[in-house]
Structure 1
Amino acid sequence: MTAAPAVDLRPAAPRGQHPGNLASQPSRSTRKRWFDGWGLLMLPLALFLLLVFVAPLALVLARSFTDPVTGLDNYRDFVSSSLYVDVLANTFRISGVVTLLTLVLGFPYAYLMTLATPFWRGVMLIVVLVPFWTSLLVRTFAWVLMLGDTGVVNQTLLGLGVVEEPIAMIRNSTGVIIGMVQVMLPYAVLPLFATMRSIDRRLLQAGEGLGARPMTAFWRIYAPLTLPGVAASCLLVFISSIGFYVTPALLGGPKDVMIGELIVQQLSGVLRWGFASALAVALLVVTAALLLLVARIVNVGKFMAGDR
């Protein structure tokens, strides 16, 4: 007795199309549902980014090539002057130092937050978020009063006999770094804390149970798992730091000019809109190049998403 032949219940493929390609092609209803349903929720965000980011960026790029005359004169002036190149290098130097200091200060603070009780964790979180509730200009002026020659810090050091004369902590890179670190510290702590709180601490206990010392288990097991938070915090702090203007302008000196200050000077002082646009484009290009370089070393998208 022979078995009945199997019946193919799949829908017939259109004329001229192989049946195996049906599953790989989205149906017309799927495409319609994407554009007429949930996909429409992307339109407000797309329009917002187009109006406030893409369009102004295109205008800045166009103006850098057309003001005051069409050509590469603005970029040629930037590259040919060592002063402007030094300002760009100083911007990245200060931003790198600020990034390193915020990481050194934020890493143990975020780790301590994971060990604290819920009450004290909330208190520590409030302390971190306090800078967001205060105006940047007010905080910067507060640092001017604290770090000046007659400020609280110098008067305390003089009163204790630690120094014999006031230490210059403003109108130089020291004041700029101190002010920027205080502003950017939350951007380092919060990504680190979000990553650390998701790490299972039983891994440390397992490492210690296998004979590792507590410090060895921390650096060999726990610290590598925090790399997503470290990468995210460093990127956030560095990218935000290179565009600072208020803090360097009030706490820095003539030798500590950052590119944000230079752009404002070119706009409000000498009205060189085209050259200021070229400076902004150069900063954007160099930053993008650094991000591409980092992306070749680490998976930035994976780190920013928090995947391990």
Structure 2
Amino acid sequence: MKNEIIFRMESPFRDTFRIQGFRFGEGEKSLALVGAMRGNEIQQQYICSQVINRLAALEKEGRLVPGHEILVVPSANPFSMNIEKRFWAMDNTDINRMFPGYDQGETTQRIAAALFEAIQGYTYGIQLASFYVPGDFVPHVRITRTGYEDTATAALFGLPFVCLYKPLPFDTTLLNYNWQIWNTKAFSLYSGGNDTVEGKDVADCVHTIFRFMHRRGLIDYTDYSSPDYNSRLLDEEELVSVRTPVSGILYKMKHACDVVKKGEVMASVIDPYYGQVLMEIQAPTNGIVFFAHNKSLVLQNTVVYKIA
């Protein structure tokens, strides 16, 4: 294992800003894994730390396949994580919407440029991503439609869903999009949340990454402790959104991964003063809860569920 500084930036008021990279093996640039780019992506950084720990052990055991290089970047935004702020602390910009970056531009553009230069040219790219609204997901692989997407390879992760996303114009600055344009097979991995590091979904996500590396011939690794699914290909436009027409306190009966039937009560919205049920939210169709809002206070017209 080689630990190196990918990008460094001096700060007049704080410690030096650093992005660290951990390289394993030598040879063809085979896989790059990027963790937290936002300050609240603690789960994503934790998963990277577990990957680094396990790769180091496999390297000592001689179980890395020769001729391949693996790069892991656990965090691209430690400053924001230190102060518990989702976006860049100074101007609230999102590093994940700055790619491919500009090395003479604003701070987050420079960070994106340095990171992209380090992870460019790899055959496979995995980003541990988070959604723009708070919530819990069914663990899945998400791919931006660019014309270069590879859904067959995405199925090798063995997660329940491979979800295709049609990009809007401003999505062309996402890492996933730019990785594909620059000839890397890119996959965004959604492990289920942001804040928690405990639980089966997090452990399964670590195993999923190693399963993928094994199936791509990068490591010698076998583990049967996590489920291996025949992934269902899903277009994001197929997801059925369930909104609440009133504001109040959300009391959920159904959570991510739960099976629901049409007409079944999924949640109640409760009056925050009188404690009365303002309305019951019912499932509009049969399916699986793909996304569940995880904040207890909801505003009118909030998407509280997405059903596959």
State the TM-score bracket (shorter-chain normalisation). under 0.3
| Greater share of residues in strand | 2
Which of the pair has the greater relative contact order for Cα pairs under 8 Å at 6+ separation? 1
Structure showing greater radius of gyration is 1
What's the TM-score, normalizing by structure 2?
0.20
